[in-house]
Chains A and B, each alone.
Chain A
Amino acid sequence: MTQRLEVVNEVTIRFAGDSGDGMQITGDQFTNTSALVGNDLSTLPDFPAEIRAPAGTLAGVSSFQVHFSSFDIHTPGDSLDVLVAMNPAALKVNLGFVKPNGIIIANTAQFVSKNLRLAGYAEDPLQDGSLASYQVFPVNITELTAHALADIPDLTAREIERCKNFFALGIVFWLFHRPMEHTIRWIEDYFTKRRRPKYVAANVSALKGGAAFAEATELFATTYEVRPAPLQAGLYRNLTGNTGLALGLLAAATRSGLQLFYAGYPITPASAILHDLSGYKRFGVRTFQAEDEIAAAGAALGAAYGGALAVTGTSGPGIALKQETISLAVSVELPMVICNVQRGGPSTGLPTKTEQSDLFQAIVGRHGEAPLPVIAASRPSDCFDAAFEACRVAIKYMTPVILLSDGYIGQGSEPWRIPSVPDLPKIDVPERPAAEGFAPYLRDPDTYARPWAVPGSPGLEHRVGGLEKSDVNGHVSYAPDNHETMTLNRSKKVALVAREMPPLEVHGDPDGGKLLVLGWGSTYGAIRTAVERCREAGQSVSRAHLRWLNPLPEDLGDTLAKFERVLIPELNLGQLLTFVRAKYLIPAIGLHKVQGVPFTASEIQSAIEELL
């Protein structure tokens, strides 16, 4: 039998298995190789909050979805072309996402009565005909892995078993004509660093064994090729949002000449930022794992007071704890950046899943009149730019800035065109005030920023604190008029940040039309894809995406007024929607989803179609 080679434009694969099956590594490897062969891509890792939920259960399923293409894409894909199911639970949880006639590769070794029961299957779905509308490839991955590793000495059954994810990856590599060198190099590097040389041979054999098996057995009648995507010229790497965020902070430190100080307390999905920055000591980055989020925010504020580029990062519950400190930062007008990699709430909520439900908390979550600029990243590669911009604005206006990311873009990845360092804007740090005529609240008439008079500067000794301060001289003051003046000054300063924003871009019909889809943050990809699809179908729909949520762009009102209707999709129950309705007095329509997963483009597409 000769295999047919089919060239396709895009493919979505999900690797799914037990938490201990190594699905995140498998997906990561497939992603990196796809990036290296020049595809555009977008990923969606999804794992349970429990480190090792009971084996074989639905709760223990961990998956990694990757969408790769020969054209420009913006989402991890709505439905699956290929599902790799390492056990019945993985099949059960993910089957609903597989396209009709989609490929299912199932590890038959795990389809035994106990696991079928744990997954809630009365009959073996591989046998009972229930999967007739899919292309099912039953493979005894566990046993075949053992065969592939037969020549490697000193491996326990458990160690062999643990290589099966690479066997599965080998099959998929072969199916999509992907080179294996990159993953082989990764395996060598990973296990050599951990001083486990025998695992190098084992995993490489598993990987090659998978590919050889797929080739020799003629299991697949068709193989597929996805050609490189025509990306903008440049040097690329694959980047997760969290790493992009860390790099953006570091770049801002470099371009401002300030010391980067980062304080955090471990929390999913923000910990990676602390991990990454802790590894940048050679850049002089100072990181601090605090005793809690309150202390992390406090330490960042202390560092800001000392003149550092101070940053703290966390996720929803941690932001709640930091708010009192952020209020103090608003009051003492010191620059700092607070990163919130949002997750599903309230409370511990869905710790490993995504949501956009902290917008209220970011904009109005403090006590007193405590406004601050809020910026949101829209995709993994944008986390770098958003972090850089947050730092720039914090320093220029002497204000805390909240930077919103979320679990989806923080942990997801896509190709990133690596910027040239000299081309990054330089961040001007306001000069230290002169001792002569110094006053702690003497504002820059242009930015309303107060001077950054750091300890150690002779003649600038002064006192700051959370008690209201008299305008200009900064003495404690409870005077009624003064409090109003200072409250207005602080709010005016934040309003001035709107000047930093380029004109709002409307994609579609800039002069107006029937429907505008307005988004913010990580809904970017799904909205863009949905609007593009609708426009290709001839529908009058446009889109705009907000980078700053506070203040809102000065031209937003005019833009909204040009459209008959405005749709705001959010992974919450309508938070931006509330602000837009209140501020512009328009009957904007919300599209809400709070399932811990991002919108698919189709969901937004249907909502658009319903409105047109």
Chain B
Amino acid sequence: MRSAVASAGPALTRDDFQSDQDVRWCPGCGDYSILAQVQRVLPELGVPKENIVFISGIGCSSRFPYYMNTFGFHTIHGRAPAIATGLKLARPELDVWVVTGDGDALSIGGNHFVHLLRRNLDIRVLLFNNQIYGLTKGQYSPTSEQGKVTYSSPMGSIETPFNPMRVALGANASLVARSLDRDTKHLQMVLKRAHEHQGTAFVEIYQDCIVFNKDTFAPLTDRETKDDNVLYLEHGEPMVFGKERDKGIRLDGLQPRVISLTDGQHSVADLLIHDEHDRYGTLSDILATFQERVGFPRPVGIVRNIERVCYEDVMLEQIDKAMARSGPGDLAALLAEGDTWTVGPNGS
């Protein structure tokens, strides 16, 4: 739930959202771009600055709130969803954003992360996925690829990585999206869509850690390669990609296939049409698997967007119902509820 009140004051600009703190990420870190896009988008949302709260966990990414001239709370490793939940339940009218990293959200905070999505509070979660532990200087994270060589895995990490999108879908997140730090316009679009959504909006943002995991996402962001490796999802549109828009996704039974639109055998009519609103998530589940499929483009954009009741709305409804049923609480009556007896002045 959010209050419908738009800002009454003068129109805000990007500058209004910059705090007086020096930004201290490594020069060239993808976090800078994400910060800039958030600061560009916020003035367009019509929310009074004082009603916006950024809550983060711990990690490089989680320093984010310090740089925003809004309310901000840099909390504990992994626990931002819990703290945001309490704030939202106490103050449903606020516009609450969670900023987290892949280690923060999916390792130490995995439990809170899935429960926030499951409950569907009206909160936006921006997960900066750099597939590494940045702040602690470069250990593998729960999204690092198997075999990743880091200080804590000199012979390669043994673990199977989490696919954050699958985790989010598994928790029945009502909005699931992905974007990239470098793709500024796309990121702005996704942020706006996430903000429009009523319910928990989960946005995975690929973020370049230039110090410990440089260029991990280069194939998805470099001018030469990105069009062949990224599938830009648009609701109601066929799934076409490629520099020459010459490739597409077709469904073959339950399996998606990459097909060529120039081999004379297929046309756009054969392609899967994106449907954000697919209630049971069949399509989004399939899209989420692309990152594990060799030769498949990485879907970005709004993967899933369905309507689900927000936790805090029902909480308030129940309170209203209880008040309507028995009138607003009377403390004196409650204290004296049940069986009581009176002792007279003489102790009788």
Name 12 extra pairs, CB < 8 A, besides A282-B322, A454-B91. A38-B348, A235-B342, A237-B338, A291-B82, A295-B82, A298-B79, A299-B85, A301-B75, A328-B75, A332-B73, A421-B332, A466-B76
The answer on a CB contact under 8 Å between A286 and B315 is yes
23 contacts between A and B (CB under 8 A): A36-B341, A237-B340, A288-B89, A290-B85, A295-B81, A297-B82, A299-B82, A301-B83, A301-B86, A302-B85, A302-B87, A306-B86, A306-B91, A307-B91, A421-B335, A455-B94, A456-B94, A458-B49, A460-B50, A462-B71, A465-B72, A465-B73, A467-B74
Interface check B318, CB cutoff 8 A: yes
Interface check A100, CB cutoff 8 A: no
A283 to B56, CA, bound (A): 32
Interface check B115, CB cutoff 8 A: yes
Task: Determine which residue in B56, B82, B319, B332 has the highest number of CB atoms from chain A within 10 A of its CB, and name it.
Answer: B82
Stretch at the interface among A43-51, A206-214, A246-254: A246-254
Interface check B10, CB cutoff 8 A: no
> When A263-B86, A328-B75, A455-B91 are in contact, do A461 and B70 touch as well, CB less than 8 Å?
yes
The 4 closest A-B pairs by CB, nearest first: A465-B74, A302-B86, A298-B82, A299-B86
Q: Which residues of B contact A38 (CB under 8 A)?
A: 341, 343, 348
Residue in contact with B334 in the complex, picked from A250, A328, A461, A467, CB distance below 8 Å: A250
B83 nearest CB neighbor, chain A only: A302
Interface check B90, CB cutoff 8 A: yes
A441-483 interface code vs B (CB 8 A; 1 in, 0 out) = 0000000000000111111111111110000000110000000
The answer on a CB contact under 8 Å between B90 and A310 is yes
The answer on a CB contact under 8 Å between A231 and B343 is yes
A contacts with B, residue count (CB < 8 A): 73
The answer on a CB contact under 8 Å between A237 and B65 is no
The answer on a CB contact under 8 Å between A283 and B86 is no
For the complex formed, measure the closest distance between the CB of B142 and the CB atoms of chain A, giving whole angstroms: 18
A287 to B94, CA, bound (A): 19
Interface check B323, CB cutoff 8 A: yes
Interface check B347, CB cutoff 8 A: yes
Residue in contact with B72 in the complex, picked from A296, A463, A466, CB distance below 8 Å: A463
> When A302-B55, A463-B72 are in contact, do A295 and B19 touch as well, CB less than 8 Å?
no
Q: Which residues of A contact B347 (CB under 8 A)?
A: 228-231, 233
A233 nearest CB neighbor, chain B only: B345
B321 nearest CB neighbor, chain A only: A281
A301 to B55, CA, bound (A): 12
Interface check A234, CB cutoff 8 A: yes
Interface check B253, CB cutoff 8 A: no
A291 nearest CB neighbor, chain B only: B115
Instruction: Say whether chain A's binding surface is mostly helix, strand, loop, or mixed.
Output: mixed
For the complex formed, measure the closest distance between the CB of A179 and the CB atoms of chain B, giving whole angstroms: 12
The answer on a CB contact under 8 Å between A418 and B340 is yes
Interface check A349, CB cutoff 8 A: no
Q: Which residues of A contact B91 (CB under 8 A)?
A: 306-308, 454-456
A570-589 interface code vs B (CB 8 A; 1 in, 0 out) = 00000000000000000000
Interface check A121, CB cutoff 8 A: no
The answer on a CB contact under 8 Å between B334 and A280 is yes
The answer on a CB contact under 8 Å between B343 and A234 is yes
B320-336 interface code vs A (CB 8 A; 1 in, 0 out) = 01110111110110111
> When A295-B85, A461-B71 are in contact, do A237 and B329 touch as well, CB less than 8 Å?
no
Interface check B128, CB cutoff 8 A: no
For the complex formed, measure the closest distance between the CB of B320 and the CB atoms of chain A, giving whole angstroms: 9
Q: Which residues of A contact B19 (CB under 8 A)?
A: 463
> When A286-B315, A298-B86, A306-B87 are in contact, do A236 and B343 touch as well, CB less than 8 Å?
yes
Interface check A96, CB cutoff 8 A: no
Q: Which residues of B contact A421 (CB under 8 A)?
A: 331-332, 335
Residue in contact with A228 in the complex, picked from B93, B325, B337, B348, CB distance below 8 Å: B348
A307 to B343, CA, bound (A): 40
Interface check A294, CB cutoff 8 A: yes
Q: Which residues of A contact B235 (CB under 8 A)?
A: none
Interface check A509, CB cutoff 8 A: no
The answer on a CB contact under 8 Å between B82 and A290 is yes
Residue in contact with A182 in the complex, picked from B85, B332, B339, CB distance below 8 Å: B339
Residue in contact with A463 in the complex, picked from B65, B82, B327, B339, CB distance below 8 Å: B65
Interface check A35, CB cutoff 8 A: yes
Task: Determine which residue in A229, A291, A419, A420 has the highest number of CB atoms from chain B within 10 A of its CB, and name it.
Answer: A291
The answer on a CB contact under 8 Å between A303 and B74 is no
Residue in contact with B76 in the complex, picked from A261, A298, A300, A458, CB distance below 8 Å: A298
The answer on a CB contact under 8 Å between B319 and A286 is yes
Q: Which residues of B contact A111 (CB under 8 A)?
A: none
A417 nearest CB neighbor, chain B only: B343
A598 to B30, CA, bound (A): 60
